[in-house]
């Protein structure tokens, strides 16, 4: 049985995620096969690209059902970057599109006003995650306060309930939510597999949790 199924819908840096899992000693498979996902202990949804295209591909491959199935069984589900955004109710990227709706909330674009210095509407680079206020959530980031993580995105999530926040970060002066946790679901706007040793700690925590399930 694989520890982790990495969901393959031809979007995003799957190889780097697999390398990070290998590195911490987790057995993983990159797959779009519902049976293989069913037979894996946990699920990672990566993703780089546009929201509507990603949802379209998920549905075409019937991977949305595979994700719901994991959720019903209470398996650990991790969304990274666009993969986290897909877990939310809807996004206004390009056109209003319904997401998986496992986490209630919306996905919004950074407004150009949030960044007076350059007017760039997306965030590429290293930003600190602030987790101190959200310690009670017991997430994989809870002891990584003020560590730098690597971000590359132009949209960010706005959950309807504040309790699920596990960290915030700043894009210039705009504070946004950089990770969430709701029961067995966690989402990271940054890329732990591209964030050096602190990012790898997140994968190590996944390993620990999976070991404790045995």
- Active site (catalytic) residues: 81, 191, 193
Q: Closest CB to other proteins among 125 and 212?
A: 125
Residue of 27, 56, 124, 163 interacting with other proteins (CB under 8 A):
124
Report the run of H or E that residue 181 belongs to, with start and end: strand 174-182
Closest distance of CB 153 from other proteins, Å:
7
- Report if residue 8 touches other proteins, rule: CB under 8 A: no
Cβ neighbour number for residue 188 with a 10 Å cutoff: 28
Closest distance of CB 107 from other proteins, Å:
15
CA 83/CA 70 separation, integer angstroms: 15
Q: Closest CB to other proteins among 20 and 185?
A: 20
The token pair at 122 is 């997306």
Instruction: Report the site for other proteins in 74-113 (rule: CB under 8 A).
Output: none
Closest distance of CB 92 from other proteins, Å:
16
In angstroms, the first-to-last Cα distance of the chain is 12
The residues facing 31 across adjacent strands are 7
Smallest Cα–Cα separation from 142: which of 180, 191, 110, 197? 180
- Report if residue 119 touches other proteins, rule: CB under 8 A: yes
Query: Which stretch, 83-91, 156-164, 175-183, 192-200, contacts other proteins (CB under 8 A)?
Result: 192-200
Pattern of binders to other proteins over 150-189, x per CB under 8 A?
Answer: x-xxx-----------------x-----------------
Cβ neighbour number for residue 158 with a 10 Å cutoff: 11
The residues facing 42 across adjacent strands are 4, 76
Instruction: Report the site for other proteins in 32-51 (rule: CB under 8 A).
Output: 48-50
CA 71/CA 64 separation, integer angstroms: 11
Cβ neighbour number for residue 175 with a 10 Å cutoff: 12
Residues that bind other proteins (CB under 8 A): 13-16, 19-20, 22-23, 48-50, 117-120, 122, 124-127, 146, 148, 150, 152-154, 172, 191, 193-197, 199-200
């Amino acid at each position: 049985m694989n520890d982790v199924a990495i969901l393959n819908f031809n979007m995003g840096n799957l190889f780097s995620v697999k390398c990070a899992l290998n590195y911490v000693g987790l057995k993983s498979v990159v797959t779009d096969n519902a049976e293989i996902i069913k037979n894996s202990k946990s699920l990672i949804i990566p993703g780089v690209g546009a929201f509507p295209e990603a949802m379209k591909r998920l549905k075409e491959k019937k991977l949305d059902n595979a994700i719901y199935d994991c959720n019903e069984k209470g398996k650990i589900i991790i969304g990274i970057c666009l993969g986290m955004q897909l877990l939310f109710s809807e996004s206004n990227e390009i056109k209003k599109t319904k997401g998986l709706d496992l986490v209630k909330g919306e996905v919004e674009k950074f407004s150009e006003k949030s960044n007076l210095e350059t007017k760039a509407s997306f965030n590429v680079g290293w930003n600190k995650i602030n987790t101190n206020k959200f310690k009670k959530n017991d997430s994989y980031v809870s002891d990584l306060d003020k560590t730098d993580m690597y971000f590359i995105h132009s949209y960010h999530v706005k959950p309807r309930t504040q309790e699920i926040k596990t960290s915030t970060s700043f894009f210039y002066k705009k504070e946004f939510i950089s990770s969430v946790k709701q029961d067995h679901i966690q989402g990271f706007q940054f890329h732990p597999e591209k964030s050096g040793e602190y990012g790898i700690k997140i994968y190590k925590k996944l390993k620990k949790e999976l070991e404790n399930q045995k």
